[in-house]
Chain A
């Protein structure tokens, strides 16, 4: 669906992105990770035909973005970090306008608007003026305009930016609902969101691609094992850490003592939650919490983006 080769974009002397190459297959949901200023938005804007590259090639569905922008724009849905809304319009009128702009025939526009509103839970605000909606609703209207014409490729730049925790969960559910219908490229600062929504990750740092693959593949490449378990225990931890390290497939054990409790991270090549639980209970240590570590992606991300040369690809 997307083929990017040696893509570079310079603003004056400064390279926003440099020699970026990656491919995304049809139907994949890919997460785009990077620190602020890493070049994510620039890349997404080039893919969205909003910006021209300085050099390199970008093909979407076999068409080159520099020479076929008009045709490509009909195949994509783009949600920028600030939703492109007209505050004085009602939600329904705005979505109908977006659908018609994207060449949806007039006869079908109303049904497409209804469909998009149902997917994004906007039916109850169909006649509301956008100016009067909350930030969460506006973000959903932004997502609805991106999917109203059923694009083959969906590009979402920070879809959860500025949302409260409840709205983030809602947005995550919406994003999961897009699986299978579109090829999706999501950029986000919320690593949990990326981890739970995407099939594959692209990590960009200082304008260069420093890692790509599934979370497991990246973790293996980083020597962190394909599974990471986090335990919170109360009691002596030194002996337990040694025993945990002896579990087959465990590659690394890291203990972080706190005031009353200790958090132990166990990296392994397989899921060791059951074995670790048995061991802790067997040692007579209080087990307060045990789950898949949410910090695994964080750790991969930090490793990839802290090293000046990046990590494995």
Chain B
């Protein structure tokens, strides 16, 4: 595990030392703030706190997924583009340590960025009451959704040769996993059950958004994260063949 921590620490340092991490965080927080003011709070003065929170987590989920794609696109693709991957590949470091270290660094940065927006739901306290359980479950949902999107982004970055391709590939994978929900709406049972169960957002995020914690949804996001990271490790191992 030492190598995983070493890689994660170096990567996190890289996010903090270069502009790209700050730019992504600034854009996400800025857009999130605007959406919170315009859509969540809105002009209506008599909205329930739970409605405001639900709208906030709805907006934040989209932004978290977008941020995850932009944060993960550089993870492996940049290393291959610049040639620095050779340092890791020629060191006694296993592929799983490389992938986990990189994923972990991006996840910590994404988590810091997501939690930096917590002042928005807390603003509800100015004019009303706040269910802290709802906030905690909503943020857990954002982090689980973010982890899944990051893992899919890591897989895209492992497969692609450039950061741009990685972003396009990961974005496409993510969109496919979201719109699979629509296929469920136009097919019959039992196929539609499968599509609904696989959908990254439509079935599994709304409960978090509403402040409900279901084990099924937690397991789903952990499973997607595990599967995407496992596939990334396999792809990296296969790179030794060419």
A100 on the interface (CB 8 Å rule)? yes
List 4 A-B pairs, minimum CB-CB distance, nearest first: A84-B87, A78-B90, A82-B83, A84-B86
- In the complex, the answer to whether A88 meets B90 with C-beta atoms within 8 Å is no
Interface range for B: 20 to 34
A50 on the interface (CB 8 Å rule)? yes
Nearest CB on B from A182, distance (A): 15
Q: Mark B49-81, 1 if CB is under 8 A from A, else 0.
A: 000000000000000000000000000000000
Identify which of B10-18, B30-38, B140-148 touches chain A.
B10-18
B29 on the interface (CB 8 Å rule)? no
- In the complex, the answer to whether B87 meets A145 with C-beta atoms within 8 Å is yes
Given contacts A76-B90, A97-B6, 4 further A-B contacts (CB under 8 A): A51-B241, A85-B84, A98-B91, A102-B92
- In the complex, the answer to whether A86 meets B84 with C-beta atoms within 8 Å is yes
Q: How far is the CA of A218 from the CA of B123 in the complex (A)?
A: 81
B161 on the interface (CB 8 Å rule)? no
Which residues of A line the B interface, CB within 8 A?
11, 48-52, 69-71, 73-74, 76, 78, 80, 82-89, 97-98, 100-103, 145
Which residues of B line the A interface, CB within 8 A?
2-3, 6-7, 10, 13-14, 17-18, 82-94, 240-242
Q: How far is the CA of A84 from the CA of B89 in the complex (A)?
A: 10
- In the complex, the answer to whether B90 meets A49 with C-beta atoms within 8 Å is yes
Contact A102 B91, CB 8 Å, known A80-B83, A97-B10 = yes
Nearest CB on B from A3, distance (A): 20
- In the complex, the answer to whether B87 meets A101 with C-beta atoms within 8 Å is yes
Inter-chain contacts of B83 with A (CB < 8 A): 80, 82-84
Most buried by A among B85, B87, B240: B87
Q: How far is the CA of A48 from the CA of B18 in the complex (A)?
A: 31
Inter-chain contacts of A52 with B (CB < 8 A): 240-241
